[in-house]
């Protein structure tokens, strides 16, 4: 089971720089599609343990969102060794997310 971590500007770079891939969900409380995708990410976390999932609230952590050119939410970015490997913008069904992430997890 993958762990879902709450990220912030202070720990973000440390969290994404490990060997284990981490899928970061850039989201906000007021974002409807973000609320739709949240349970999908929880399901994925329960079913897979080859990577981690992080959630970054863009309203509370604008520096990190800006540094990674997050223009709309939800944006999911998969990082490995601190490098962006995959970016998915917008809510997507679970099967599409898994297809997009398959080569990394």
Give the integer Cα–Cα distance in Å for 101 and 39. Answer: 17
34 is catalytic: yes
88 is catalytic: no
- Give the active site residue among 2, 16, 24, 34: 34
- Give the active site residue among 2, 24, 31, 73: 31
CA 10-97-85 angle, 5° bins = 50
What residues act catalytically?
31, 34
């Amino acid at each position: 089971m993958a762990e879902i971590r709450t990220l912030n500007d202070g720990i973000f770079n440390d969290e994404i720089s490990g060997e284990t891939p981490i899928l970061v969900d850039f989201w906000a409380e007021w974002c409807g599609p973000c609320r739709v995708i949240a349970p999908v990410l929880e399901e994925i976390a329960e079913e897979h343990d080859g990577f981690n999932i992080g959630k970054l609230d863009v309203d509370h952590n604008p520096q990190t969102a800006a540094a990674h050119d997050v223009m709309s939410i939800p944006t999911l970015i998969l990082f490995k060794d601190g490098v962006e490997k995959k970016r998915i913008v917008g809510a997507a069904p679970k099967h599409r997310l898994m297809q997009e992430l398959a080569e990394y997890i």
